[in-house]
């Protein structure tokens, strides 16, 4: 186990290093820099040059990267160019927003997909199963940003269940914040839930054909107990893999959905910081996301072990 | 047993999700309002600086306008009134500007404005340690003298009777150590807090010296996604949004009044006068003859907008020359002839660079490209990020033509015309004409206002006759304001005056 954790941590460090260097390199290639961005239409070559010098942008790329990396390891994430605020507090303030959105979406996905998936498998070939299968195909084909617009239209403008664009900060009112988040989370969860239903259904059905199931039946078990005690555990393994990937994917998905629902989370900060060439902020967010993805992978591995004790981590 | 456990887990999950969803429905309606407040949507966050002297983006200045005041301040008519100063005198033919400070003007932190604060603020703007002063025009200031504790003299290097509009620069307390993050001014609103990409919160400043603001709490909510503007308005999340498009204006619900004004921008196809083929005046004129501003306005904004013929928009009253609009009445034959004379009988193609965040300029560029096809000229529209535009087009001047709107940073004709002087640092079209430089220098040097105006008009005429750019229009501006509120005023500058807004009687 210790070796496993050490391996994961080494992987994390390597990933963060590579990813953050790539971000640095990408910014060096694309046109524009924070100095021109800050000066806007007031920019003159002299002013840009003076500001570049002041911000240390005239140093060679490896030097700038090394300076950033050293400070980062020391826990100093730097100061945002556009906001003159410490990056740590700026990003720290937004992490709960994106995390809440992602986790809410994940919970909704699990809550929707597992019961429906099992139901479909039990009633395979039935009318409801076929109807759900068709519906699933449709839902899978709709990207979240579009379902987001439809959800805004239906629940926001027609049913008035929420105020479109009326985001309320979690610092102001946690319940109303979560209340608003339900709708974007639903938009993210829908297509993933549809995929999970499809996966779980086929996974359960293929397990049902295996010998141990016949044995279980022959011992006199009823369908229900065979399904929940034996089949589901085995059928869940591919689903857990999928859920893990889906969770990581949802972080990325939330960046787009934040635009649709006007939520000021990590995604919004990331996008504006990229267009402002605000490197310290972009770096910090990228590192956060990389960390999150690796952490999710780690969690998935642990859940494997929980579901199937035969699996070893090393 | 295990089955039951599994079921319980599932049930709990479903219940949690439901509970949250239901909580949403009930929580949403609990709107509590005991003091007046307004939520105003703005399209971008303040990303340059909260320090009014460092702020450069128009979107930043329009917010800071409510927090800060200069010695004098602009009003909605384009006149200047005494703000932090109670009166001003122009002495020695425009070499010395003497200000008497108003009694009892307080900063948001409660301290009184002193002559030292005024001197500090003006000197901060004139400081040249960054290569150039923060306010470019302040290179003209020789020194700032404190005559007595209520009187300050601004002494210029050369007499300039047209310097007063630049003295709108914000007066800030010398004691503030972090103007970048803690803005303190004398305006009718004071800064409370901000959350990046989320909002900026302002509160009425109770000790304001003048007519106090009507609305107590103001939230400036950032709505970066243009598609979310109309839903935010109609859904009730924001009460006001300025500078929406014609299409958006048509979609807002009956709860809103849509007010129409102008944006006070010079929208044009700006041509790189140093790059072929636009270094040839005949080519530039051909473009002017081929492009029909009225056609553009009809296509893009239902005919709304105000045609312009030079780098001046109508809000500037005495400087605006309507007659220049007719200089290039659409004439395709003349355009083709000019192209042939210039050596392009079969036309040519060029890249028209447009910043991708301005839909109105993109729309205009598309109509321009269509109109130019008629004379065999192909415009390849290239959309680039605003930041790339700033570095490639504006700073490096590495482009052929671009469509943007240029605004005036102060209430002087010079704010629009100075950039076309051949040596100007912000002369991004590389315009160079000795006659223009001379006319502009004459305007600057004139003491008599009528004469000054004449010289500025000459500048405008030269720009038009030289076809420095293909001038199109001053864009129409639409403001959606919830019917609960009134008092919106359009300014000839890019500002929002929140202090004038009020709640209409009979409403909550």
Distance CA A64, CA B168 (A): 39
- Please say whether the beta carbons of B357 and A10 come within 8 A: no
Query: Are the CB atoms for B88 and B206 separated by under 8 Å?
Result: no
Residue of B7, B387, B392, B398 for testing the chain A interface, max A β-carbons within 10 Å: B387
Query: Which position has the higher pLDDT, A310 or B453?
Result: B453
Q: Which of residues 5-24 of B touch A (CB under 8 A)?
A: 6, 10, 13-14, 16-17, 20-21, 23-24
Residue B371 has a pLDDT of 95
CA distances from B37 to B33, B215, B235, B472 (A): 8, 6, 17, 39
CA distance B242 to chain A (A): 16
* Residues contacting residue B484 through CB under 8 Å, at least 6 positions apart: B239, B503, B504, B507, B508
Of B298, B301, B281, the closest CA to residue B289 belongs to: B281
Mean pLDDT of chain A: 85
Closest-CA distance of chain A to residue B283, Å: 27
Q: What is the 3 state secondary structure string of B150-191?
A: CEEEEEECCCCCCCHHHHHCCCCCCCCCCCCCCCCCCCCEEE
Of the candidates A33, A114, A166, which has its C-beta nearest B235's C-beta?
A166
What is the mean pLDDT of the segment spanning A64-77?
85
How much is the pLDDT for B333?
A: 93
**Distance, CA of B361 to CA of B378 (rounded, Å):** 18
CA distance B130 to chain A (A): 6
Could you tell me which chain A residue has the CA closest to the CA of B25?
A161
Q: Which residues have a Cβ under 8 Å from the Cβ of B371 and sit 6 or more positions away?
A: B290, B291, B292, B295, B296
Q: Write the burial class of residue B481 (CB in 10 Å: 0-12 exposed, 13-18 middle, 19+ buried).
A: buried
Q: Do B3 and A228 touch (CB under 8 A)?
A: yes
Among A80, A108, A179, beta carbon nearest to B28: A179
| Candidate from B132, B231, B386 with C-beta closest to A46 | B132
State the sign of the Cα–Cα–Cα–Cα dihedral A257, A263, A269, A271.
positive
CA distance A294 to chain B (A): 25
User: Chain B neighbours among A 194-253 (CB < 8 Å)?
Assistant: 224-225, 228-229, 232
Any B CB within 8 A of A22 CB: no
pLDDT band per the 50, 70, 90 thresholds, residue A11: confident
Nearest to B28 among A46, A162, A169 (CB): A162
Which member of B3, B20, B388 has the closest CB to residue A229?
B3
Question: Omega before B277 cis (within 30°)?
Answer: yes
pLDDT along chain B (508 residues), means of 10: 52 53 42 73 86 84 93 86 91 89 93 93 84 79 91 90 88 90 93 90 93 94 84 89 88 92 90 92 94 93 90 87 90 93 92 89 94 94 88 89 88 87 89 94 84 92 94 92 92 88 75
Cβ separation A41–B130 shorter than 8 A: no
Q: pLDDT at position B58, please? A: 80
Cα separation, B141 vs B44, whole angstroms: 33
Inter-residue contact B264 to B494 (CB < 8 Å)? yes
A182/B130 Cβ within 8 A: no
A224 confidence band (pLDDT: 50, 70, 90): confident
The residue of chain A with its CA nearest to that of B43 is A262
Q: Given A94, A157, A276, which is nearest B47 (Cβ)?
A: A276
Helix (H/G/I), strand (E/B), else coil: B393: helix
A277 to chain B, any CB pair closer than 8 A? The answer is: yes
H helix and E strand count, chain B = 13, 21
Q: Quick one: pLDDT band at residue A105, thresholds 50, 70, 90?
A: very high
Rounded to 10°, the helix A232-260/A144-151 angle is 70
Q: Identify whether the C-beta of residue B210 lies closer than 8 Å to the C-beta of residue B228.
A: no
| CA angle centred on B243, ends B238 and B245, rounded to 5° | 100
Hey, of B39, B44, B133, B196, which one would you mutate to test binding to chain A, going by the most A CBs within 10 A of its CB? B196
Q: What is the DSSP letter of B35?
A: S
Q: In chain B, what are the helix, strand and coil shares in percent, each to the nearest 5?
A: 35, 25, 40
CA A222 distance to own-chain centroid: 40
Give the CA angle between residues B315, B320, B322 to the nearest 5°: 115
Residue B430 Ramachandran class (φ > 0 left, ψ -120 to 50 alpha, else beta): left
> Between these two residues, B247 and A185, which has the higher pLDDT value?
A185
Segment holding B383, helix H or strand E: strand B378-384
For an interface test with B, which of A33, A45, A47, A188 has the most B Cβ atoms less than 10 Å from its Cβ? A47
Residue A162: count of CB within 10 angstroms of its CB: 26
Instruction: Please give the pLDDT value at position B32.
Output: 42
Mean pLDDT of A242-258: 86
Helix A127-141 vs helix A87-122: crossing angle, to nearest 10:
150
pTM tops 0.95, yes or no: no
Restricting to A residues 182-201, those with a Cβ less than 8 Å away from any Cβ of B are 182-183
**Residues of chain B contacting residue A114, judged by C-beta atoms under 8 Å apart:** 10
Contacts of B236 in chain A (CB under 8 A): 163, 166
Confidence bin at A302 (pLDDT 50/70/90): confident
CA geometry: angle A224, A229, A231, nearest 5 deg: 85
Confidence grade of residue A49 (pLDDT, cut at 50, 70, 90): confident
Nearest to B299 by CA among B231, B369, B229: B369
Rounded distance between C-alpha atoms, residue B309 and residue B457, angstroms? 12
Chain B residue numbers with beta carbons less than 8 Å from the beta carbon of A152 are: 231
- CB-CB under 8 Å, A50 with B131: yes
- How high is the ipTM of this complex? 0.76
**Shortest CA distance from B12: residue in chain A:** A111
Q: Cβ of B425 under 8 Å from any chain A Cβ? A: yes
Give B234's contacts in chain A (Cβ within 8 Å).
157, 164
> How is residue B208 annotated by DSSP?
-
Query: Taking a C-beta distance cutoff of 8 angstroms, is the pair A182, B20 a contact?
Result: yes
Task: For residue B153, report the phi and psi dihedrals to the nearest 5 degrees.
Answer: -110, 130
What is the model's pLDDT at position B336? 93
Mean pLDDT of A119-124: 88
Helices A279-307 and A2-29 cross at an angle (nearest 10°) of 150
SS (H, E, C) B98-109: EEEECCCCECCC
Cβ within 8 Å, pair B196-A269: yes
Q: Cβ separation of A37 and B390 shorter than 8 Å?
A: yes
Under 8 Å between Cβ of B411 and B312: no
């Amino acid at each position: 186990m210790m070796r496993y954790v050490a391996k994961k941590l080494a992987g994390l460090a390597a990933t963060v290093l590579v990813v953050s260097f790539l971000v640095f390199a990408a910014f060096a290639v694309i046109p524009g820099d924070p100095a021109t961005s800050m000066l806007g239409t007031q920019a003159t070559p002299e002013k840009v040059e003076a500001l570049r010098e002041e911000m240390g942008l005239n140093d060679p790329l490896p030097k700038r990267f090394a300076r950033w990396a050293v400070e980062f390891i020391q826990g100093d994430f730097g100061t945002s160019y556009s906001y003159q605020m410490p990056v740590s507090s700026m990003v720290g303030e937004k992490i709960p927003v994106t995390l809440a959105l992602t986790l809410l979406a994940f919970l909704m996905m699990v809550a929707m997909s597992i019961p429906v998936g099992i139901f479909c498998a039990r009633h395979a070939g039935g009318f409801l199963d076929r109807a759900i299968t068709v519906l699933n195909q449709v839902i899978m084909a709709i990207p979240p940003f579009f379902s987001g617009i439809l959800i805004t239209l239906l629940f926001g403008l027609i049913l008035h269940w929420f105020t479109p664009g009326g985001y309320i900060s979690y610092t102001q009112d946690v319940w109303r914040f979560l209340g608003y988040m339900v709708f974007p989370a639903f938009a993210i969860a829908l297509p993933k839930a549809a995929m999970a239903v499809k996966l779980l259904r086929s996974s359960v059905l293929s397990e049902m054909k295996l010998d141990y199931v016949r044995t279980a039946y022959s011992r006199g078990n009823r369908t229900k107990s065979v399904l929940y005690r034996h089949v589901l555990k085995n059928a869940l393994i591919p689903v857990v893999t999928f859920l893990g990937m889906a969770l990581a994917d949802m972080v990325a998905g939330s960046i787009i959905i934040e635009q649709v629902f006007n939520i000021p989370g990590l995604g919004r900060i990331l996008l504006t910081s990229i267009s402002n060439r605000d490197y310290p902020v972009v770096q910090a967010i990228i590192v956060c996301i990389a960390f999150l993805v690796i952490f999710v992978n780690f969690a998935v591995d642990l859940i494997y072990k929980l579901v199937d004790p035969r699996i070893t981590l090393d | 047993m295990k089955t039951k456990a599994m079921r319980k887990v599932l049930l709990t999950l479903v219940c949690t999700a439901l509970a949250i969803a239901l909580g949403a429905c009930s929580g949403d309606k609990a709107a509590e309002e005991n003091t007046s407040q307004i939520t105003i949507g703005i399209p971008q966050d303040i990303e340059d600086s909260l320090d009014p002297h460092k702020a450069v983006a128009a979107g930043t200045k329009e917010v800071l306008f409510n927090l800060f005041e200069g010695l004098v301040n602009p009003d909605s008519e384009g006149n200047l009134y005494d703000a932090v100063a109670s009166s001003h005198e122009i002495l020695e033919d425009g070499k010395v500007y003497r200000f008497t400070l108003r009694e009892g003007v307080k900063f948001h932190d409660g301290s009184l404005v002193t002559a030292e604060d005024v001197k500090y603020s003006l000197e901060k703007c004139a400081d040249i340690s960054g290569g150039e002063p923060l306010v470019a025009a302040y290179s003209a200031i020789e020194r700032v003298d404190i005559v007595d504790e209520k009187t300050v003299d601004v002494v210029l290097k050369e007499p300039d009777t047209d310097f007063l509009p630049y003295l709108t620069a914000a007066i800030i307390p010398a004691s503030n150590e972090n103007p970048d993050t803690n803005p303190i001014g004398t305006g009718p609103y004071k800064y409370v807090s901000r959350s990046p990409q989320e909002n900026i919160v302002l509160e009425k400043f109770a000790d304001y010296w003048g007519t106090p603001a009507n609305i107590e709490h103001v939230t400036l909510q950032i709505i970066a996604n243009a598609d979310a503007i109309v839903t935010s308005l109609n859904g009730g999340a924001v009460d006001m949004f300025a500078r929406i498009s014609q299409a958006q204006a048509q979609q807002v619900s009956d709860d809103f009044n849509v007010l129409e004004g102008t944006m006070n921008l010079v929208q044009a196809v700006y041509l790189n006068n140093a790059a072929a083929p636009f270094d040839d005046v005949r080519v530039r004129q051909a473009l002017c003859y081929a492009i029909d501003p009225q056609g553009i306005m009809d296509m893009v904004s239902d005919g709304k907008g105000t045609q312009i013929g030079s780098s001046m928009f109508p809000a500037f009253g005495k400087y605006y020359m309507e007659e220049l609009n007719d200089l290039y009445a659409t004439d395709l034959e003349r355009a083709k002839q000019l192209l042939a004379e210039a050596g392009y009988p079969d036309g040519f193609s060029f890249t028209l660079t447009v910043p991708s965040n301005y839909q109105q300029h993109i729309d205009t560029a598309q109509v321009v490209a269509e109109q130019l096809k008629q004379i065999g000229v192909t415009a390849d529209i290239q959309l680039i990020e605003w930041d790339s535009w700033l570095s490639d087009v504006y700073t490096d001047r590495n482009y052929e033509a671009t469509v943007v709107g240029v605004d005036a940073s102060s209430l002087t004709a010079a704010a629009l015309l100075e950039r076309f002087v051949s040596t100007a640092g912000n002369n991004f079209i590389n315009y160079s004409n000795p006659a223009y430089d001379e006319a502009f220098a004459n305007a600057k040097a004139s003491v008599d206002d009528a004469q000054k105006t004449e010289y500025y008009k000459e500048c405008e005429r030269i720009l038009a006759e030289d076809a420095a750019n293909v001038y199109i229009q001053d864009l129409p501006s639409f403001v959606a304001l919830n019917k609960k509120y009134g008092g919106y005023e359009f300014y000839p500058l890019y500002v929002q005056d929140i202090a004038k807004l009020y709640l209409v009687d009979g409403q909550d």
